[in-house]
Structure 1
Amino acid sequence: MARSATQSSTAVEPTVLAPFYTKALYDPPEAGTYELPPIGMAADGNVIDTKGNKRRLHEFFSDGKVILLSFIYSTCNDVNGCPLATAVMYEIQKRIRNDPFLRDRFEMVSLSFDPIYDTPEVMALYGKGYTKDNNWRFLTTASNDDLQPILDSYQQSVIRDYDENGKELASFSHILRVFLIDPEKRIRNIYSVSFLNPGLIINDAKTVLMSDSQAPAEDNLVKVASLSRPGDYKVGYETKDYVTNSQSVADRTGKEADLSAYLVKPPLGLPAIPQPENNPITQAKVQLGRKLFYDRRLSLNNTFSCAMCHIPEQGFSNNELAIAVGLEGRSGRRNSPTIYNVAYLKKLFHDGREESLEQQVWGPLLAFNEMANPSVGAVISKIRNIPDYKGLFEAAFDGRGVSMETLGMAIASYERLLVSGNSPFDRWYYGGEKNALNDAAKRGFDLFVGKAGCVSCHTIGEKSALFTDDAMHNTGMGYRESMGIKPESQKMLVAPGIYMNISQDIIAETGFQPIGDVGLYEVTQNPADRWKYHTPSLRNVALTAPYMHNGALSTLREVVDFYNEGGVENELLDVLIKPLGLTDRECDDLVAFMESLTGDNVDTIVADAFAAPIGDLTKEDPDWAH
């Protein structure tokens, strides 16, 4: 601790005590690896802002934000006192500008304990040199009568200094104390000179926010994916006692989660979430993007949202359809790819035709067989006139309204937080938990990286694993589809519990022929790229059936069998695809390994999705009369 005032006109130059000016003796502990129990409640009181408005101190403690509170006076010149507190806070302000987790969750307040000299005008002038963002308030009080109860509550002792002749000086003796206050207005830490370090305070703030009841901290995660299943769960369908337990969207209940905690500490097994320089993730963007993702009003007839192809409880894919179906039942050509961990991909869509999430979103919005909007302008105009979007884009994008760019940036910000890891595999491979995997899964891993060679495309790194090389390959599946190579008959369910082998000729007469699909060739027009498709990540793969770009394989065992047989021979078959010679047991072990890749935060993400509004049309919406 240090005295923060000039003691007299003959006082010696104080010794620098703060590690902020030199170098801390140790690095601060990693955020989230320790606890900061509440010390007490943060007191309230009557204050005045820089515009002269009389307000209560707690009015500057924004909901959902951590507050750093300091007591200063503007004429202090002690290097270990008020200038130190202000310098540290200024440094914190600079750092959190580029920290997406704290940028919208951290605010600072500096309250003067010199109401006589530090008028609102003086505090405005003092703060002007430090405030670069709208997250630091400079306050004063109307009188010592208003100030003293606040100082007493925070146990902030302040004594006015006098010279040797007893003349009152414009300086004070006080012990420097800075307070970290959580969103519930509880004091979580108090910093003296020796501990007033930006790195420590930032990690403390993150720790407090990560331990908040709304954040998906590890203790609050549901460990199994109990919410993930097809909407019409058909177990027992063939029995006479079967009763559907399909769940109406309107009946679902969820719990909103602060997924941006993963920006600070991604789930085990995943690298840091990448962010474009021109679209750093903020809480406001994520909340807006989440609202847009689930809003059915973004489609032409207000019935179809992004989440109706990327269904949260079905692995953000669609377990019930091999081929996606869009607006008014219009069929697509391909299976709905999962968007779990899509933040890490550089190639998007099965044919890899997009390279950023910001751009990708407009494909489905405008596709006739998806959301069917006639133009970019039509989408923007509709959103601009929906009352519950009023001001949301402006708040998220520094005054910019809805546009082609900001809409893409908002949805992309939400999608980047749909990261899922800390699976049994991760806890075994990266966490060192010997019993996190069963024996079958361990044998499957050995096959995955060995005999089966799966790791050649579904890569595993030293510190993290995305289980995709983010590249394009021809496995023969696209070739088989294009050439119409099918068995003479196909086993089909024709009634509960009754299957029949149906001739392909009969099947062809009862439906439309599939639309041609040659994969990457459609993007590049390079004949060598025919039937190449993007390597999907295998994370959460047990939740994302059916498989392949066309949904042709219903189970993971079918996928393993397909590769075990060497794919489908064609002139452009990838050199990595060849018969594997796996036994039945080895195939089962590979499936067991892939089933171990389900993240333990799946239900947290799904429950958060369930809490989002689905965009019911109201009388205030522009399309109500239609």
Structure 2
Amino acid sequence: MKLLLLFGILLITTHANAQENKPLAPGYTELPFKPAKPGSYTLPIITQAANGEVITSNNQPKQLHILMGDKIVILSFIYAACSDVNGCPLATQVLHKISRQLQKQPELADKLRLLTLSFNPAQDTPEMMRHYGEGFKTGNFDWQFLTTRDEAALQPILDGYQQNVQKVYDDKGQFTGTFSHLLRVYLIDKDKNVRNIYSVDFLHADTLINDVLNLLADAKPQAKVQAANPEMLFQPGDNKQNYQQADYQTRSLALAQRRGQPANLLALAQKPPLGLPKLPVPKDNPLTQAKIALGRKLFYDRRLSLNNTFSCAICHIPEQGFSNNEMTTAVGIEGRSVRRNSPSLYNVGYAQLLFHDGRENSLEQQAWGPLLAHNEMANPSIAYVVDKLKASVDYRGLFEKAFNKGPTMETIGQALASYQRTLNAADSPFDRWYFGRQKGALSEPAQRGFALFTGKAACSTCHSIGEKTALFTDQKRHNTGIGYTESMQRSPEKHRVQVAPGVFVDVNSDNLKGLNTEKANDLGYYEISQNPADRWAYKTPSLRNVALSAPYMHNGSLPTLADVVKFYNQGGAANENLSPLLKPLALSDREIADLVVFLEALSGGNVSALISDAFAAPVGDSGAMARPTPDPGKGR
């Protein structure tokens, strides 16, 4: 098999009369540096290349994917009438340079294909593209010039590559024949995976050729990579540890490089791992394989958000404790701020209170909170989500199989709840030592930590442990002072902002206003109950798998387990509603360390299986779902 490089370009175009003194892009000049040796660096998988129906210059309809898979391909989006020197002419100039270089390297030229697709199908007919291409093609090199039958056929392709193309109109509302768009270039391998993205400042023939050679040199099979580095499956895709240091080097792992193995989730729910009690399941929503599979599909489907970009798993990331290790508080679609941390979903089927403030008590009901929240998945209504799923090709028959009826508010919530009830992780070192009576299963520091947990530190008062099982939560709400402290603190005059590894700048707070929405004050369960005694009260989370779900507390304000233990060691933060259970603990540094070791020993032995199953889950393709069509007789 030969590699396929898809090189997609979406160009910035402006009015032609502004071109005379415009600085030329680097792609026109000599490369000012020597590229790294091919094979010495990694081009991670970014996303899957989009498909769509195109028309060749010989007027033959083809699927774009048909032109991929056997070669490396460079795809540029242009329109023939473009006059922006750093727009379409830049794209064709760079590709022309590549074409000329490869005529001298036939062994490499045989593995590369250039595709140039017009985003002006009304003017750039197949015949026009054939004439246009004759001015650029060099010898017999494989360079194909494409168009589409109309804008309706083109739009899904542009959407698939996230290319925002807009027509430019004059003062009278007439189309000027020019377009406004961004220059982006996509490098895609033989499996149709995007491996690099270039902008106008990075688009250069020498760089592209070097990246092609790098892909060819990187012939190590993915299975061997994972076998040699099994830990690569279970860590953040972009590990920014030590990012604050000036010599930081990225260790980003493309999520698409990971391969998962489906698990028997129903069996895991029916027979929970050591340390967990029998799973409570509502009588009106018994677990079945069909429901779990449907809920799993929904959970990882980005199409459940308003703009088809955001899934449940984007906040509840499997390899990050089904939470988010990289953000203190969550971020919804379009970067909209959410004021609370993403809670872990491990063992969520046992939770009697849901959300940090415990305002819901049913997973079936809870599911609709993030689906409808304007700063999370932002769907405008329940009907919008239902209609979207009804219009989806790949959901046809799945709801009927699981529930004997189609998508409804009820069945969508039941399906998502069914999958989440299978995310049960236990059989930890602590479980094997305490419930399994395996003497060597827990280290001595962890055993000392357990003695503190149930004794001097009194953690088990709220994070309870039973005789045969342990959920490590009393299923109640408490005021620890974290919410009070955040509400009462004054905003600093300056914020320290990290702009690059090891580089920080102090920015006046006034200069940051308007860049983000003001974070609303958080009063905890008081916002639901309206009882002043409930101010800053939040539910007690389970401590199972707690080492996997940093940062901590409802606002993500404590980055490590050691910080959490130190906070409770000081007795929380004093306020009039502080829980009477909190008091200074007088723990020594060694005792704090032992408690942390114990908490780390609560990670389930089956966590890897659940993550691997998540990696094997299908991910929604926006091309498989039509947008809901409004009824003209409604909503007027």
Residue type of the alignment partner of 1:232: D
The residue that corresponds to 2:626 in the other structure is 622
2:287 and 2:602 map into 1 onto residues whose CA distance is 27
Q: Are 1:519 and 2:538 matched, yes or no?
A: no
The residue that corresponds to 2:564 in the other structure is 559
Change in CA separation of 1:531 and 1:235 when aligned onto 2, cut-off 3 Å = closer
1:241 and 1:593 map into 2 onto residues whose CA distance is 33
Q: Are 1:273 and 2:279 matched, yes or no?
A: yes
2:398 to 392, 396, 403: 392
The residue that corresponds to 1:177 in the other structure is none
Change in CA separation of 1:361 and 1:510 when aligned onto 2, cut-off 3 Å = closer
2:330 to 321, 324, 329: 324
Residue type of the alignment partner of 1:344: Y
The residue that corresponds to 2:371 in the other structure is 365
The residue that corresponds to 1:405 in the other structure is 410
Q: Are 1:306 and 2:312 matched, yes or no?
A: yes
Contact 2:562–2:596 (8 Å) recurs in 1: yes
1:513 and 1:506 map into 2 onto residues whose CA distance is 13
Structure 1: tracts of 5 or more residues without a match: 1-223
The residue that corresponds to 2:387 in the other structure is 381
- Report the CA distance between 1:240 and its aligned residue: 6.6
Contact 1:475–1:532 (8 Å) recurs in 2: yes
2:236 and 2:579 map into 1 onto residues whose CA distance is 33
Q: Are 1:245 and 2:268 matched, yes or no?
A: no
1:456 and 1:492 map into 2 onto residues whose CA distance is 40
Change in CA separation of 1:621 and 1:565 when aligned onto 2, cut-off 3 Å = same
Count matched residues: 401
Contact 1:489–1:501 (8 Å) recurs in 2: yes
2:578 and 2:245 map into 1 onto residues whose CA distance is 44
Residue type of the alignment partner of 2:460: V
The residue that corresponds to 2:618 in the other structure is 613
1:435 to 435, 440, 460: 440
Change in CA separation of 1:547 and 1:396 when aligned onto 2, cut-off 3 Å = same
Contact 2:484–2:536 (8 Å) recurs in 1: yes
1:502 and 1:361 map into 2 onto residues whose CA distance is 39
Residue type of the alignment partner of 1:304: F
Q: Are 1:458 and 2:463 matched, yes or no?
A: yes
The residue that corresponds to 1:580 in the other structure is 585
Contact 2:546–2:600 (8 Å) recurs in 1: yes
Matches within 5 A, 1:487-566: 493=498, 495-497=500-502, 513-566=518-571
The residue that corresponds to 2:298 in the other structure is 292
The residue that corresponds to 1:340 in the other structure is 346
1:407 and 1:488 map into 2 onto residues whose CA distance is 46
Contact 1:444–1:593 (8 Å) recurs in 2: yes
SS of the residue corresponding to residue 622 of structure 2 reads coil
Residue type of the alignment partner of 2:272: P
Q: TM-score, normalised by structure 1?
A: 0.61
1:549 and 1:391 map into 2 onto residues whose CA distance is 39
1:462 and 1:241 map into 2 onto residues whose CA distance is 50
2:589 and 2:509 map into 1 onto residues whose CA distance is 29
- Report the CA distance between 1:624 and its aligned residue: 10
Contact 2:244–2:502 (8 Å) recurs in 1: yes
Change in CA separation of 1:509 and 1:435 when aligned onto 2, cut-off 3 Å = farther
Contact 1:521–1:528 (8 Å) recurs in 2: yes
Cα deviations by residue, 1:334-366 (Å, 9 ceiling, x for unpaired): 000011000001110001111100000001000
SS of the residue corresponding to residue 293 of structure 2 reads helix
- Report the CA distance between 1:227 and its aligned residue: 3.5
Q: Percent identity?
A: 60
Contact 2:269–2:424 (8 Å) recurs in 1: no
SS of the residue corresponding to residue 441 of structure 2 reads coil
SS of the residue corresponding to residue 605 of structure 1 reads helix
The residue that corresponds to 1:468 in the other structure is 473
Q: Are 1:419 and 2:424 matched, yes or no?
A: yes
Change in CA separation of 1:227 and 1:575 when aligned onto 2, cut-off 3 Å = farther
Residue type of the alignment partner of 2:537: K
2:629 and 2:249 map into 1 onto residues whose CA distance is 38
1:433 and 1:310 map into 2 onto residues whose CA distance is 33
Aligned Cα root-mean-square deviation (Å) = 2.5
Residue type of the alignment partner of 1:570: N
Q: Are 1:571 and 2:555 matched, yes or no?
A: no
1:280 and 1:560 map into 2 onto residues whose CA distance is 39
Contact 1:262–1:417 (8 Å) recurs in 2: yes
Cα deviations by residue, 1:245-302 (Å, 9 ceiling, x for unpaired): 3233333321111111123421100011111000000000000000000001111111
Cα deviations by residue, 1:195-248 (Å, 9 ceiling, x for unpaired): xxxxxxxxxxxxxxxxxxxxxxxxxxxxx9774322211245456764423233
1:333 and 1:593 map into 2 onto residues whose CA distance is 30
- Report the CA distance between 1:599 and its aligned residue: 0.4
Contact 1:225–1:602 (8 Å) recurs in 2: no
Structure 2: tracts of 5 or more residues without a match: 1-229, 631-636
- Report the CA distance between 1:492 and its aligned residue: 6.7
Q: TM-score, normalised by structure 2?
A: 0.60
Residue type of the alignment partner of 2:359: R
2:593 and 2:513 map into 1 onto residues whose CA distance is 33
Cα deviations by residue, 1:302-348 (Å, 9 ceiling, x for unpaired): 11000011011110001111110001100011000011000001110
2:575 and 2:608 map into 1 onto residues whose CA distance is 41
- Report the CA distance between 1:485 and its aligned residue: 5.7
The residue that corresponds to 1:595 in the other structure is 600
